């Protein structure tokens, strides 16, 4: 049996939604049995044990393949496969003991036989519903459902697996009951953004997914492949260099020829990495569709595997608008968001991008639609003093001098070429200083930074969780300060929401104004 092709994805979603609308009202609605206990009488899909087993077996796959096909390592490690049999039994045990049901106010989950567990999860607590389908899921017509709350990064409920119709019905039911338990009217879904295949190709060109994947593969090999850190790199490097130099020496190239060969090799590697990035973008973002239904946003994407994530708009805490050099050449930007409780390393299950790639006008329209009172397009930006450029230039000076000093022992006077980085660093610092600025109105606070790679970072005032005014010894010497603004759900890879190099008096006035705004209204999630 083969997986459905991408052409049938739209018809598949339409059929699933139609089945959801038909199935949602038939799900059990009474939350109390004869003994007054919540009802949980629905089982997972009969093949759910297989997907649970596959999830547990992922950690054994790489060592097993190495031992069987490469013939290296200690074969006593195969004894660990005895645990695979136990995992099979555990997967079957989970299937036969797991039950779920739907009450009037929440989801009921019962698991275990000897050690029994009963959980009642209120609909209003469920903030995010993620429906995930891999290729194998699509073969069997099933999906994994994950429900998250704002309280933490662990899911409130995770069901491996349900039929696609049941998964869509459960998502629909949670969306209806979570918004208003007494409301049963389904609101119309409006599409906010659809990415065409051409846009997805542009996304692959501006991303570095291929480089990240290759780096992750090398790191994984260093950790899992036996003796990779020892003989394997040495053998590959020695054999590859011997073959390469043997071939090159036969052409008797001069210095110019070697330079052209090096440039061609770099170009070939760059093309290969970009091709890999485009392939990854097609796999992850093909068919991207952002829609709005009531106060919830739903994003669906994927070529072979499909991800569908639903999240309330109130869960969005901060926004990031980004553009790199290639973005500017293609006249495109990226609009990302931080959401409460989202795990930045949990690929596909958290809504992190409202527009992976779009024109600046489209991004502005999305912001204006989702933040209608913020008046994003009418913000009055305040530039920072241009004299702050040397503060951005200063950190590069000691590192450049140290690099030139270290290279002197190997290159002699040629190491002084490293100092040519300083003029470029000064030029870059001046450009960055000219673009730095901030803006604030009654609803929104925003900062902008960057020159080579630019970003705009902003948040609603009632989403701010903390304010901090800091002054380093250099700040005290220069009469400046840095204002940090913290929101919930901020990821480690997100640009910081901060205003740097502010004059101390201006920083204090801005801090007092923001503190008064926070004290005058309740914070909301």
With cut-offs at 50, 70 and 90, classify the pLDDT of residue 367. Answer: very high
Q: What pLDDT does 126 receive? A: 82
With cut-offs at 50, 70 and 90, classify the pLDDT of residue 116. Answer: confident
Q: What pLDDT does 29 receive? A: 39
511 vs 67, higher pLDDT: 511
Question: Which one is the CATH code of 6-44+98-186: 3.40.50, 1.10.10, 2.30.29, 2.60.40?
Answer: 2.30.29
In which residue are the tokens 């060109």 written?
205
Helix 209-224, helix 255-285: angle, nearest 10: 90
Pick the closest to residue 129 from 54, 49, 20 (CA basis).
Answer: 20
Please tell me whether residue 190 adopts helix, strand or coil conformation.
strand
pLDDT at 178 over 70: no
Q: What is the mean pLDDT of residues 8-17?
A: 47
248 phi and psi angles, rounded to 5 deg: -70, -40
pLDDT at 128 over 90: no
- How far apart CA 412 and CA 403 sit, in angstroms, is 13
Q: What pLDDT does 469 receive? A: 93
Q: What pLDDT does 245 receive? A: 58
With cut-offs at 50, 70 and 90, classify the pLDDT of residue 249. Answer: low
Q: What is the mean pLDDT of residues 514-523?
A: 71
249 vs 118, higher pLDDT: 118
77-91, 198-212, 479-493, range with greatest mean pLDDT: 198-212
510 vs 252, higher pLDDT: 510
CA dihedral 250, 255, 257, 262 (to 10 degrees): 100
pLDDT at 215 over 70: yes
Pick the closest to residue 309 from 271, 270, 354 (CA basis).
Answer: 354
* DSSP state for residue 8 in the 8-state scheme: G
Let me know: does 414 contact 404? Beta carbons within 8 Å.
no
Q: Which two tokens stand for residue 85?
A: 């049999």
Q: What pLDDT does 169 receive? A: 87
According to DSSP, the residues that pair with 227 across neighbouring strands are: none
Let me know: does 291 contact 189? Beta carbons within 8 Å.
yes
Q: What is the pLDDT of residues 476-490, one digit of tens each?
A: 999 999 999 988 877
With cut-offs at 50, 70 and 90, classify the pLDDT of residue 9. Answer: very low
412-430 as b/e: b if 16+ CB within 10 A: eeebeebeebeeebbebbb
pLDDT at 505 over 90: yes
pLDDT at 33 over 50: no
Q: What is the pLDDT of residues 317-347, one digit of tens each?
A: 999 999 999 999 999 999 999 987 655 555 5
With cut-offs at 50, 70 and 90, classify the pLDDT of residue 49. Answer: confident
pLDDT at 20 over 50: no
Please report, rounded to a whole number, the percentage of residues in the chain having pLDDT higher than 90: 34
Record the pTM: 0.79
CA 422 to chain centre: 35
With cut-offs at 50, 70 and 90, classify the pLDDT of residue 240. Answer: low
Q: What is the mean pLDDT of residues 376-403?
A: 90
14-18, 37-41, 345-349, range with greatest mean pLDDT: 37-41
Q: What is the mean pLDDT of residues 404-423?
A: 86
Q: What pLDDT does 239 receive? A: 57
Q: What pLDDT does 112 receive? A: 78
pLDDT at 107 over 60: yes
Of the given ranges (21-35, 204-218, 353-367, 413-427), which has the lowest mean pLDDT?
A: 21-35
Q: What pLDDT does 80 receive? A: 57
Mean pLDDT of the chain: 79
Domain ranges of the chain: 6-44+98-186, 203-285, 289-384+436-520, 388-432
328 phi and psi angles, rounded to 5 deg: -65, -35
């Amino acid at each position: 049996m083969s997986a459905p092709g991408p052409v049938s994805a739209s018809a598949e979603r339409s059929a699933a939604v139609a089945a959801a609308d038909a199935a949602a009202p038939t799900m059990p609605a009474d939350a109390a049995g004869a003994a007054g206990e919540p009802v949980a009488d629905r089982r997972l899909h009969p093949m759910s044990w297989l997907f649970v087993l596959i999830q547990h077996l992922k950690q054994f796959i790489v060592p097993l393949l190495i031992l069987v096909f490469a013939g290296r390592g200690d074969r006593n490690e195969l004894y660990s496969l005895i645990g695979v049999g136990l995992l099979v039994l555990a997967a079957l045990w989970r299937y036969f003991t797991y039950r779920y049901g739907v009450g009037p106010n929440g989801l009921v989950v019962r698991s275990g036989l000897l050690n029994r567990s009963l959980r009642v999860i209120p609909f209003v607590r469920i903030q995010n519903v993620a429906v995930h389908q891999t290729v194998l899921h699509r073969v069997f017509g099933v999906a994994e459902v994950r429900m998250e709350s704002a309280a933490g990064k662990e899911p409130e409920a995770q069901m491996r697996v349900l039929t696609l119709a049941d998964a869509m019905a459960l998502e629909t039911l949670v969306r209806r009951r979570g918004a208003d338990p007494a409301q049963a009217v389904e609101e119309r879904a409006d599409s906010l953004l659809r990415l065409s295949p051409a846009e997805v190709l542009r996304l692959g060109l501006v991303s570095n997914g291929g480089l990240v994947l290759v780096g992750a593969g090398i790191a994984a090999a260093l950790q899992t492949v036996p003796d990779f850190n020892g003989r394997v790199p040495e053998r590959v490097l020695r054999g590859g260099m011997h073959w390469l130099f043997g071939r090159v020496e036969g052409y008797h190239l001069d210095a110019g020829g070697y330079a052209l060969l090096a440039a061609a090799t770099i170009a070939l590697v760059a093309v290969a990495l970009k091709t890999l990035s485009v392939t990854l973008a097609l796999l992850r973002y093909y068919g991207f569709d952002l829609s709005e239904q009531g106060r919830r946003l739903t994003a669906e994407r994927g070529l072979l595997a499909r991800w569908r994530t639903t999240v309330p708009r109130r869960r969005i805490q901060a926004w990031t608008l980004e553009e790199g050099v290639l973005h500017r050449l293609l006249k495109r930007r990226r609009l990302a968001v931080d959401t409460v409780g989202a795990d930045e390393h949990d690929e596909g299950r958290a809504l992190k991008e409202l527009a992976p790639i779009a024109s600046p006008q489209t991004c502005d329209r999305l912001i204006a639609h989702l933040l209608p009172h913020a008046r994003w397009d009418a913000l009055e930006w305040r530039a920072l003093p241009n004299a702050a450029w040397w503060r951005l230039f200063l950190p590069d000076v000691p590192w450049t001098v140290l690099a030139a000093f270290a290279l002197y022992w190997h290159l002699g006077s040629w190491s002084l070429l490293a100092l040519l980085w300083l003029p470029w660093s000064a030029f870059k610092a001046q450009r960055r200083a000219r673009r730095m600025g901030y803006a604030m109105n009654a609803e929104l606070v925003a900062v902008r930074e960057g020159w080579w790679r630019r970003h705009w970072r902003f948040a609603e005032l009632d989403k701010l969780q903390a304010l901090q005014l800091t002054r380093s010894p250099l700040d005290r010497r220069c009469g400046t300060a840095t204002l940090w603004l913290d929101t919930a759900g901020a990821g480690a890879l997100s640009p910081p929401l901060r205003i740097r190099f502010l004059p101390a008096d201006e920083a204090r006035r801005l801090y007092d104004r923001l503190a008064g705004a926070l004290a005058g209204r309740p914070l909301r999630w």
